[in-house]
Every structure is written in C-alpha cells, then in structure tokens.
Structure 1
C-alpha cells in the first residue's frame, strides 16, 4: 500500500546530497524519527477543522532518518572515536604547582584536565610522599626517578591509563590506586615490595597475576573487572582484605594460604554455593550478596567463628541454618531471599549477645505479614537494635 493509498501526502523526493551509497550504508546506522505530534487538543464536541480536500491545517512531515557515522557508540561502552575532537585540556605545566613549596610532602591535583606528567616538573619536590592526580586525562605514567626515594602514596584514580609501565623506581611506595582506568593486565608491579594497599577497581582485568613479590600487601581491591577465577594469591600471606565484588567468579577457591584474611567481598558474582573458607579462621566480614546461593551448607562456615558481619542478601536461600555457632555475629544481612520461618530466625540467632543489626525485608516472612513483621523480629531477637534500615525504639 502506498503513502497516497493510506491518506498521506507522498514524501518529497530525497535530496541527492543526503543519499548514502551502498558502500557507505553498512558503515552507518539509520534511526527513524517519528513526526512531531500536535499538542493542541480538540474538543470532543467540535467539528473537525478540515477543508474539502481533507486537509486539517497541520503540517505533515514525512518520516525522517538520522544517520550515525559511528553506530558503535550505541552498543560498545569502550568505543572511542580516533577522529573525534580532543577534550579541552588545561596545559599541565608548572603554573599549577606555583603555590606548593619545594619541600611539600603532599601534592593534590584533582580534576585539573592534566595530560602530561613531565610538564608538571615534579622533580622539584624532593620530599614528596603523596601524589594525587585523580580525574585527569593522563595516559602514561612518566614520573621522575627522584620521586622513588620518597613517594609513598600514588593515586591515578579515574584517568586514561592502559599500561602499568613507569613504576620501576618507586621503591618506597605503600599505596597505589589505579582504579577507573583502562588496564587489561596486571604487570610491572611485583617489584613494589613495600606496597601494602593496591586498588584496581573498574578496569578491564580478566586474570589475577604477577603479584608474587607483593608479600607486604594487606589489601587489594579488584572489584568491577572481568575476573572469572580466584587465583595466584598464594604469596600474599599478609593479606587482610580482598575485594572481588562485581566480577564473574563462579566458585570460592584458592584462598587457603590467606590465613590472615579478615574481610572477603564477593558480592555481585556468579556464586551458587558457599565453600572454600575452612582455612580462613580469622575471617570477620563476609559479603556474598547478589549471587545465586540457595543454601548454607553445614560445613560452609564451620571454622569461621570470628565472623562479625555476614551479608547473604539478594540470593535464593530458603532456610536460615548452620550459623548458630557464630557467637561473635554483630550484623546479619539476609534481605531478598526466600526465608519464611521465624522459628529458624529465633533458633539460629536468639543467643547471639553481640547481634545488633538484622535485615530480613523482602523475604516471605516479611511480605506475608508486613504489619506484624517488626514485632515478630523483636520477639524472636530482643537484643537487636536495628531491624532493616530502622532503629528499634526502646
């Protein structure tokens, strides 16, 4: 059926200057833009304002097409156009540091649109201990060798760095933050023997590797990457905090050497069970929310008697069980599961003298009787001071 058969004016001839030939059409995305609707409302009782030819006085435009020359931006979050105009940048020269005396121990240049480290002339700071270059446009780590004798904290959070070259001389470094960059591989850091804190949040890392020399590391954060397996952590025997949330990990494994681990974060992964924790006898905080865990096996937490915080929320757990031995428990987060029995809550938790906070909202035991839910929790657990997000009135 033609446009004329449908009661619409035919579209005007296309402009030959706007046509895209067959060779170019595959490189472009076409988006049809609907015609603008009239905002004027017509009274139901009024006669339609049309002439004898059926024209109602509105300008009818033919469908329009928008052509995107870079359709990848719609589907690829990592896409970048090499021909796009550069982001406006402030010259990263010594003027930015005029207010810092040469004996400064702390330099903080956040969100200054810096793209060149050498132009900052950092070698003038002979006592520099902390350098923060967050939220800039830095692509390469080009630090003067002289900083290696004094620098202890280095922060490149939210830049454009894709490779970890340039840290060879940082022999005193204790903290390194490379979060929110474009790093795909962990390399060129295993010589940083004094490092105690390492941050790689929100990068493109798919494998834990090349950390063998970091024997003094106490905290590593690898959340929001592309990890599928916990591996190559054997030499990090002093590690106390391991943050692995928002990855693609399917199994808790290879953690036995980490006897000093106090905190383990595995939320938002692909776990279906809790296990592999029997050797972590010093574990105090465990976060496994937003996974696909259906139960807590009898031996899952049997050796983790120092647990103070347990977060199992947003899973598929139907029975609260096998946690009665956790006498040090202070917080239990179990919202958005399939828990339905208040007797299990009382049996597992009533004798926990240190328990102050519990979350059970969005479980059947709350949804089936929301009006009496809080009172039932208080009766079952009289020691708690906070139920979900609300403090208990004394």
Structure 2
C-alpha cells in the first residue's frame, strides 16, 4: 500500500512579486508567435525585468553591470515553506543574490525558477546538487557561467535573456536534455562536447555567424538558431536524430546541408534571402515547412514531400496558380497553406481563397482562416 507521502502532491513554492501561492504550470506551445524562439516564455502582458540588457549594445561588458535591489537579510522569502518542498518559483521577486534565499534548508528541490530578477552570479546552489534537475535563470544579469560545478543531475538549464558572451562550463553536465541561451551576446557555438543526452538546444537571438562544434550532440532533436547572422547551412551532418531546425531571420541565400538529416520533420527558414527551394530533396519526411518572407518565385521542389502537412509561404514572389496546384494537389496530408502577400493573392484578393480551396480541396486552413466545410 502506498504511503501517505506518495499520495500527496509535491510541495511547490511560487512567488511572483509579493505573492506566494502554490500553482500548476500550464502547458505551453513549443513555438513562440514569432517563430524564432522554441520555448514560449513570456505572457503577452509580461515585461522583461532587465530591458536594458537588450537595448544597450555594450551592456554585456562587466563594467556595465547594474546593481540590483538587494533583499534585506531579515526578509526571508521562503520562510513559510517546508524543507521537503520540491519546486520553488521566485519570479520577478527582486532577488539579487541566490545565497540570501538560504536554500540549504531544502532537501528535495528538483526545480528552481528564478526568472526576471537581478541576479548577477550563479552561486549558492551546491546544497541542491543531489536533487536539482531544472534550473531556470531566465532574464537576469548573469554575464559568466559558473557555479554549476556540482549540479551534475541537471536535465534542463535556462540562461536566456542574460549577458552571456561565451558558452563555458556546461559540458560537465552529462544529463542535460534541454539547454537555453536565447537572447544573449554569444558569437560562437562552443564547449558543448560531452552533452550526448541533449535533445533541445536554443541559441536564437545571439550573434552567431557559423554553425559549428555540434559533432558530439548525436541525440539532438531540436536546434533553434533563429535571429542570428548565419550565412550558410552547414555543420549539421552529425545530427542524425534532428527533427526540428529553426534558422529563421538569418542571412541564408540557399537551402543546403540537409542531406544527412533523414528524420527532419519541421524546417523554419523564413525571413532569409532564399530565391528557390532547391536543397530539400533528401528530407522526405518533412511535415512543416516555413519559407515565409523570402524571394521565392516558384514552389518547384516540393513534389517529393509526401508527408507535408503545413506550408507557410507568405510574402514571397509566387504567382502561378497552376504550378501550386501541380506541386501540392496530390499531398493528401496537407491541411494548412499560407500564400498571403504573394502576387497570386495580391492580384485578385477576392478570388484568391476560392481558387486555392478548389485546387487544393484537402486543405482545411488558408492563411489565418479555416475553410468552411459545405
């Protein structure tokens, strides 16, 4: 018979501003509305606690670190919670120093979320080393990765929206499955060797110019590189298990480097400088293709994508209805197409939807509107 403790939900601490309540985190979509960030992180009304980290190009220099509002020593945010608490959320709670939280009294914490605070140093976490699996330090003032030496049980680490310039001191964390560095100042992908269990790597909105040093990440399934300065798709050959590749808002002129990715299911390559769809020949399992906001005039090159379910092709130069029909009419799994902003829509917007509906009867959604079933 299970014990009373086994039947009791795990203790959770959630502090948001001055509130302290227990809660269940809602499920989130794996893709943000803008596409380049794989993890939907902020509610629409939420604001960054440290917006200056984004607006000031020199903010990531050490001398530019702004002092946070220090919590008085006698203000114990976690005083009312039991020692067997498993989840601690201190979001936007004016925390500037992790040691002031006195985490040594908690013996069972598996998840620690300290989002939207003014933390500058990762420290005082060794007390949680035997239990901690998920560490979330999103939107703080962290410039250097350190203080993780003992946290070898971590499976998820989020250092997004900080001031980090270099990826360092994470490759001793062999159990990591999810690693987030969105919106930092990183220019080089490096020091990830040894993370063979990594499934999801997010490096969107940095200063990366080249895809490199991913050879040891043989288990990677999702790679998010949107909003960088990448000019060429390469360095992907070892990622045999990759299912999702996002390389939106870069400087890509042609699709390449996908021949060695037999399991790729989703490709997001909008907001680049593509003029054709050549290079998709070997990714026959592709289900979602986002090529919006490029200079593509022809949809030739899609005929072999029999698994295609969603095609996002808005704001290109596609004008030939007959070609679209020829390439897509036999794709029985295709349910969603986006062609708004193309000549075939702009030239006659009143007839456009009907023409698409008639030539692609299997489609259930055209642009943002669902097709009515008669």
Q: Do they superpose with TM above 0.5?
A: yes
1:15 alignment counterpart:
none
Counterpart among 131, 135, 139 of residue 116 in structure 2: 135
Q: Secondary structure at the match of 2:350?
A: coil
Counterpart among 296, 300, 303 of residue 324 in structure 1: 303
Task: Give 1:87 shift.
Answer: 5.2
2:368 alignment counterpart:
389
Aligned counterparts of 2:261 and 2:65: Cα–Cα separation in 1: 51
Aligned counterparts of 2:367 and 2:59: Cα–Cα separation in 1: 41
Q: Secondary structure at the match of 2:179?
A: strand
Ranges in structure 1 where 5+ consecutive residues have no aligned partner = 1-72
Q: What is the CA RMSD across the aligned residues, in angstroms?
A: 2.0
Task: Give 1:76 shift.
Answer: 4.3
Task: Give 1:347 shift.
Answer: 0.7
Task: Give 1:301 shift.
Answer: 1.2
Preserved CA contact (<8 Å) 1:92 1:120: no
User: What is the aligned length?
Assistant: 320
Task: Give 1:92 shift.
Answer: 6.7
Ranges in structure 2 where 5+ consecutive residues have no aligned partner = 1-52
Aligned counterparts of 1:101 and 1:370: Cα–Cα separation in 2: 62
Counterpart among 87, 91, 99 of residue 106 in structure 1: 87
Show the 5 A alignment for 1:73-112: 76-79=56-59, 88-91=69-72, 95-112=76-93
Task: Give 1:303 shift.
Answer: 1.3
Preserved CA contact (<8 Å) 1:154 1:173: yes
TM-score normalised by structure 2 residue count: 0.82
Larger Rg: 1
Q: Decide which moves more: 184-193 or 97-106.
A: 97-106
Residue 177 (structure 1) aligned with residue 158 (structure 2): yes
List structure 1 runs of 4+ shifted beyond 3 angstroms. 75-94
Show the 5 A alignment for 1:230-269: 230-269=211-250
Residue 224 (structure 1) aligned with residue 205 (structure 2): yes
Counterpart among 293, 299, 314 of residue 274 in structure 2: 293
1:210 alignment counterpart:
191
Q: Secondary structure at the match of 1:343?
A: helix
Aligned counterparts of 1:291 and 1:83: Cα–Cα separation in 2: 33
Task: Give 1:174 shift.
Answer: 0.2
2:359 alignment counterpart:
380
Preserved CA contact (<8 Å) 1:198 1:219: yes
Task: Pick closer, same or farther for the CA change 1:95–1:329 going to 2, 3 Å.
Answer: same
